[in-house]
């Protein structure tokens, strides 16, 4: 006999969260340790499990309902009668009704109820870390020829994002109307500074990343390269690609490189190089304006 693992991931459009899935995987691990075979009831968009409506309920000795709020309403009122003959376990649940009024479980290890509270079991979950990647894209720059090339660059970035697991943070550097909800230059830079890697078709996406020691895959959306490529050459940053000569293989290699410590060191070196060079620019600016002011006074 087997155990059926169910939760809000077993029902369509019921708001299954990352915490629900972590708790589900822990429950499956604990069942294996207990020597139980199991099926997981899943509903779209999740796949690979069973549909609780169509399985043979009599093939299960136990049902474990894991994680989230749990009350005596739909779809629970449809789910429980199908498995009325099973040993029912509630794991990591928030019971919405007092236990002396209603509790259908043979064994309840609740997260919280009218009787007691426990830590959420996701504390025991160990997830693989994925890179946190800022994506800073430009829509178009009509002042340049070949206006549609930026779409080639943006599409290449989207394919890269779809090809591997990463936590993507969209970052908009425009402040007259910001799609990311950012309100100031400080907020934009602070967000970029916390990324592990930046994918960008914007010059300042690259500049603000390197300024904060964050490697950037910069794609120049101008045919043959424009200001982004020229800036990268000036800074000595090697990962500046042009949209009209871009390949997915090149992007994948750049991504792997930018997650290395040598890439972070190179990014910091570019920042130091830029700041040293800009001291001359600052001094030249101040000196020129000072000279102009003195001549006017004379």
pLDDT digits (tens, 9 = 90+) for 164-213: 999 999 999 999 999 989 999 999 999 999 999 999 999 999 999 999 99
Helix and strand totals (H; E) in the chain: 8, 10
Give Cα 13 to chain centroid, integer Å: 21
Chunked into runs of 10 residues, the chain (298 residues) has average pLDDT values of 95 94 97 96 96 96 97 94 96 97 96 97 93 88 58 90 95 92 96 97 96 96 90 96 91 97 97 94 89 63
CB 48 within 8 A of CB 14: no
Residue 8: how many CB atoms within 10 A of its CB? 21
CB 75 within 8 A of CB 17: no
* 3-class SS of residue 88: strand
pTM of this prediction exceeds 0.85: no
State both tokens at 220.
């120049």
Task: For the chain, state the CA radius of gyration.
Answer: 28
Beta strands in 22-165 (DSSP E): 38-40, 60-70, 87-95, 107-109, 132-136
pLDDT of 224 reads 86
pLDDT of 225 reads 86
């Amino acid at each position: 006999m087997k155990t059926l693992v169910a939760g809000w991931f077993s029902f369509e459009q019921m708001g299954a969260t990352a915490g629900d899935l972590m708790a589900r995987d822990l429950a499956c691990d604990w069942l294996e340790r207990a020597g139980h075979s199991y099926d997981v009831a899943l509903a779209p968009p999740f796949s690979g499990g069973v549909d609780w409506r169509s399985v043979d309920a009599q093939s299960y000795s136990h049902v474990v309902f894991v994680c989230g709020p749990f009350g005596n309403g739909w779809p629970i009122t449809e789910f429980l009668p199908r498995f009325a003959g099973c040993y029912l376990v509630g794991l990591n649940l928030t019971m919405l009704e007092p236990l002396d009024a209603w509790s259908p479980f043979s064994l309840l290890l609740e997260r919280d109820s009218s009787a007691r509270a426990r830590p959420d079991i996701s504390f025991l979950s160990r997830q693989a870390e994925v890179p946190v990647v800022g994506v800073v894209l430009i829509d178009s720059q009509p002042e340049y020829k070949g206006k549609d090339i930026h779409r080639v660059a943006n599409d290449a970035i989207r394919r890269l994002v779809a090809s591997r697991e990463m936590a993507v943070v969209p970052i908009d550097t425009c402040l007259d109307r910001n799609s990311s909800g950012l309100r100031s230059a400080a907020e934009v830079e602070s967000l970029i500074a916390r990324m592990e890697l930046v994918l960008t078709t914007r010059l300042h996406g690259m500049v603000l990343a390197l300024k904060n020691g964050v490697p950037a895959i910069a794609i120049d959306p101008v045919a043959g390269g424009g200001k982004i490529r020229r800036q990268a050459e000036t800074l000595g940053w090697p990962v500046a690609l042009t949209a009209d000569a871009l390949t997915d293989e090149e992007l994948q290699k750049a991504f792997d490189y930018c997650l290395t410590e040598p890439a972070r060191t190179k990014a910091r070196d570019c920042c130091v190089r830029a700041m040293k060079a800009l001291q001359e620019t600052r001094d030249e600016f101040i000196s020129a304006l000072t000279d102009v002011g003195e001549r006017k006074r004379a």
